[in-house]
Amino acid sequence: MSTTAENIQRQISENPILIYMKGSPQLPQCGFSAQTVQALMSCGERFAFVNVLDNPDIRAELPKIANWPTFPQLWVEGELVGGCDIVMEMHQNGELEKLVKDAAQRAGAAESGDNA
């Protein structure tokens, strides 16, 4: 049985674009998660999500690991991007789409075994 911290590390390493949020992309359970996931969806790439309301152990442990106290949390290629305010600012100035598309492209290249 793996620990919560190990599960979090595995989720972050296995998913190039990952959002920890309250609710799901189709049914966000908080306004900040709703705004963040909308910005992420507008980039047009696939991403993984974890509903922290369904995972109280992750909800308790992740802020300690990430050194970030709130949700949502967007992780791209193993790095914490930030929460709602940061993601929205990046979305408005075009940085988010570039970050997400670049990560998705690298993940696709890795999956196909192409080292371009």
The binding site for glutathione consists of 22, 59, 71, 84-85
**C-beta of residue 86 within 8 angstroms of C-beta of residue 40:** no
In 3-state terms, what secondary structure has residue 108?
A: helix
Count other C-beta atoms under 10 Å from residue 115's C-beta.
6
List residues forming the annotated binding site for [2Fe-2S] cluster.
Answer: 30
Residue in the structure block whose two tokens are 């193993």: 78
**C-beta of residue 68 within 8 angstroms of C-beta of residue 19:** no
List residues forming the annotated binding site.
Answer: 22, 30, 59, 71, 84-85
Which residues make Cβ contacts (< 8 Å) with residue 51, sequence separation at least 6? 21, 22, 23, 24, 29
